Amino acid sequence: MILSGLDSTIKAFELKAIQLGTFQTQSPSIQNISESIPPSPTASAMHFYIIGGSGRTGQMVIENALQRGHTVTALVRNPDSLTTKNGLSVAKGTPLSKQDIEVSFLTPKRPDAVIVTLNAARVSDSPFAAPLAPPRMMADSHANVAAVMRQHGVSKIVTMSAFGVADSSPNLLCLSRAVLRGTNMKHQFEDHDIVDAEMKERGLDHVLVRPAMLTEGENAPVRTFGDDGRGAPWFAKITRESVAHFLVDVCETDAWDRRTPVIAN
């Protein structure tokens, strides 16, 4: 079997892969078709409703939004996981409960956009560990928040997805695709596949951002590789700070609405 020969590769990848870490496909000799960013932000302050704000990238999103003068409501299971800050409202709950979202959605006011940085829980920190989350954790969370958004006339939702989800999968290196779709990581990617398909049918102004392999480090210039990652280099990476900045960027403009940009540094 192909996967039996991936043991050593997986061990190497495990040292680098974090959450939905992915590994890019195209040979460096292929013409790079990336486009530069950022989009032009709006000048007015906005209010964001964030799901997954207690995670590493989610906390960076909150910090970046507050630094720009925006305000944030974060729905988290454990409010103590977030430090009290001016402009931040913290609500206790889970996105798997529509009621929890309904109760907190207008606290302290109706959001201008929703940001989702959820990550499925696993039995350990390894991205290859068995999942603890239900199979549709991402999909059901999106279904719940989308329903509440419609109730209150909110149309913008920005989700941190991953390169390798849905129609970007064919543009991964075959070995990378085998790792992502042939190990326990497949559960997260299959859930994101469902999110991708269902969000496109809901009529909301969605942006499903597909970052390359997540790494630690400072914010750096971001390149985009279309909606499916065609032309992305092998083993491209992007820092969490860069992803956080990009997620807030796309909330501030409609230039990325109904798109699925693949991003890397």
Tokens standing for 178? 């085998």
Q: What is the mean pLDDT of residues 9-34?
A: 39
Q: How far apart are CA 25 and CA 35, in angstroms?
A: 17
The domains found in the chain, sorted by start residue, are 3-264 (3.40.50.720)
pLDDT greater than 70 at residue 153 = yes
Using left for φ > 0, alpha for ψ between -120 and 50, and beta otherwise, residue 240 falls in: alpha
- SS3 per-residue string spanning 155-201: CEEEEECCCCCHHHHHHECHHHHHHHHHCCHHHHHHHHHHHHHHHCC
Whether 19 has a pLDDT exceeding 70, the answer reads no
Q: What are phi and psi of 217, to 5 degrees?
A: 140, 175
pLDDT at 94 over 70: yes
Per-residue pLDDT at 32 exceeds 50: no
Torsion angle defined by CA atoms of residues 7, 9, 14 and 19, in that order, rounded to the nearest 10 degrees: -100
> Is the CB of residue 135 less than 8 Å from the CB of residue 116?
no
Q: What is the average pLDDT across 22-47?
A: 49
Predicted confidence (pLDDT) at residue 119 exceeds the cutoff of 80: yes
pTM to 2 decimals?
A: 0.83
Q: Report yes or no: 140 and 195 within 8 Å, Cβ to Cβ.
A: no
Amino acid found at 253:
T
- Whether 86 shows a pLDDT value over 80: the answer reads yes
| Angle subtended at Cα 73 by Cα 72 and Cα 78, rounded to the nearest 5 degrees | 125
Say which range, 3-7, 35-39, 146-150, has the weakest mean pLDDT: 3-7
Which residues have CB under 8 Å from 22's CB, separation 6+?
162, 163, 164, 172, 176, 180, 211, 212, 213
DSSP secondary structure string for all residues of 192-249: HHHHHHHHTTTTSEEEEEEE-EEE-S-----EE-TTT-TTPBTT-EEEHHHHHHHHHH
For the cut 90, the answer to whether the pLDDT of residue 259 exceeds it is yes
Average pLDDT (2-21) is 40
Q: What percent of the chain has pLDDT over 90?
A: 67
Integer Cα distance of 206 and 208 in angstroms: 6
